[in-house]
Each structure stands twice: as structure tokens, then as C-alpha cells.
Amino acid sequence: MPKNQTAIITGGTSGIGKACAELYASKGYNIVITGRNKERLDTEVQSLKNSGHQALGIQADAASEMGAQKVVEQTIEVFGGLDVLICNAGVSMRAMFEDLDLKVFKEVMDINFMGTVNYVKYALPHLLASKGTIIGISSINGHRGTPARTAYSSSKFAMEGFFEALRTELLYRGVHVLVASPGYTGTNIRNAALTADGKVQGESPKDETKMMTAEEVALRIYKGHQKKTRGFILTPLCWWLNFLNHFVPRLMDKIVYNVLAKEADSPLKSN
């Protein structure tokens, strides 16, 4: 059990972030979570405190550089140090690129990619001091782009490249960098996905009950953290998808297209 160790988890009020917050709290970490919705933030913090854990909630927009700086500064002020940063906050989208407002593309990149960069930038001096861990929540979309999700795929590919370069920079500095790439997980990310004009999709096109749970993902992340794993892709299906994409990319283009064309209300049209 860690003694007086502290973890920041961005987007910690729902899904994988919430599951990570609860798991890391149960392992003895002081927990700092961020989110835009103050009511949900307060509810989750109170739940953690009611379970006997040390927790702090800070309202912050994931895309805000000033917000990232504020979160790190308040964490150090309250808990005196930082040992783990989990960059989880993110947003998805679902629209054909030709129909997509570029403001939506930029919003997805700002939240998913630049939000991650901002938090790492301000947290890094403290993680170097503690020989801590940075965990990036990527996606199978960071290894295989999917149609109607161009901005989301781009943001996750960017995350993968950023963390690979950063990990190499920190190779002899004592900071562990782990990138977790879940497949479809039963969270609200598809319900909150943005459409072509930036409106919230509202209803998931997938059967959420058949997916890996956020709690299962959080446990794999924690085990990877303890073992100092470099990164992993979750679910055998996603592993094979990534593997085959390297060897038969043209075939995978057709397979991915056909699968996503069969989604409910898909922007794609199957042949």
C-alpha cells in the first residue's frame, strides 16, 4: 500500500476515470479528480470520502492549459507531491470528415491530445522528483484509424506518438510511462460523442452491455502500473485487429468499413 502517494486522474467523474479513481483510492492513494460538471465532481469526491479516502475534486476544462496548471498546483498545495498522473479525459465524435465542422475536429484534438500534453507539461517536474508514473488512456483507434471518427483517431494517434517520444526522453530519468489502449468499453463516451456540427450524439450505436467494463480496464491499468508495463492493447479482438492491420492493411480497410457501416444510423453506406 502506498504511503501518502497521490494520483491525479483527469475526467474522473465517469467511466474509466471514475473506475481508476475508486481503485487507486482503495490502494491507499490520495486522489485528485477533474471534471467540468461540478455536481458530478462533488458527488464522486464525497463518495470517495465516505469510503474513508483522501480526495480532492477540481473543476477544470480538459482542454485548458491554465486549468491543467491550476490542478497540478492545487494538488501540490494540498498533498505535497505527485506520484501518478492518469490522462483519461476525452471526447469522441462520429461523422464523415466531409461533413465535419473543423471546429469540432479542433475541439476533439484540444481535449484529447493537447489536454494530455498540458497536464504532462505541468506535472512532469513533480513526477521527476517522485520517480512517478504517467499513464495515458489511448484507444485501439490510436493504432487503427476508423471511418467517421477521423478526429478521434487523429487525437489518439497523436497521443501514442507523444508518449513514445516522451518515454524515450525519460528513459534514464526514473519516470514510468504507460499507454493503455482499450477497445470498446462500457462507458458514456459514445453517448457524449460529437456529431458533425458539434452537438452531442445522445445515444450509443453500440450494445454497451457486451463490452469490457470500466472496472476491468482500471484493474488492467493498475496491474500494468505495478509491473511498469510499457503499454498494452486490451481485448484479443483489438490485438488481432492491430496485428492484421500491419500485414493485410487493404483487407482491414474493407473489414473495418463494412463493420462500421452496419452500426445503427451509420454515416457510412455498406456496399
Distance CA 51, CA 22 (A): 10
Distance CA 212, CA 214 (A): 7
Domains within the chain, CATH numbers bracketed = 6-261 (3.40.50.720)
Mean pLDDT of 71-77: 98
Strand 176-181 relative to strand 185-186: parallel, antiparallel, unpaired? unpaired
Q: Categorize the per-residue pLDDT at 190 as very low, low, confident or very high, splitting at 50, 70 and 90.
A: very low
- For residue 146, the Cα-to-chain-centroid distance in whole angstroms is 17
Catalytic annotation, residues: 152
Question: Which of 73-82, 195-204, 227-236, 241-250 is the least confident region?
Answer: 195-204
Mean pLDDT estimate for the chain: 90
Distance CA 203, CA 156 (A): 22
In degrees, rounded to 5, the angle at the alpha carbon of residue 137 between the alpha carbons of residues 230 and 186 is 125
Distance CA 12, CA 31 (A): 10
Q: What's the predicted TM-score (pTM) here?
A: 0.90
Q: Is the pLDDT of residue 270 over 60?
A: no
Taking only the tens place, the pLDDT of each residue in 128-165 is: 999 999 999 999 999 999 999 999 999 999 999 999 99
Q: Dihedral, CA atoms, 271, 200, 233, 24, nearest 10 degrees?
A: -160
